[in-house]
Amino acid sequence: MNERICELALQAGEYVNVYIGHVDWHRQFHQKFAELIVKECAQICFSESKGHDMAFGEHCGIVIKEHFGVE
């Protein structure tokens, strides 16, 4: 697995352990993990748009987040 994906999985696990606990751990983990991946993808759109078609890149990032229901 990609190193960044592993880091996001660790972040999701830490979040669930700290804020959620053991109640429905797997569902909460997968939800948080997916949220972190979506945010990372949107952030790539935002950062890659600098110096190029900034409006399109920002729009793309916003659409990705909205599509998956991530703030």
Contacts of 28 (CB under 8 A, 6+ apart): 16, 20
pTM over 0.85: no
pLDDT for 28-69, tens place per residue?
999 999 999 998 888 888 777 676 667 777 888 888 888 888
Determine the pLDDT at residue 53.
65
Residue 1 has pLDDT above 70, yes or no: no
Instruction: For the chain, give every domain's residue range.
Output: 3-68
Averaged over 12-21, what is the pLDDT? 86
* CA 37/CA 9 separation, integer angstroms: 9
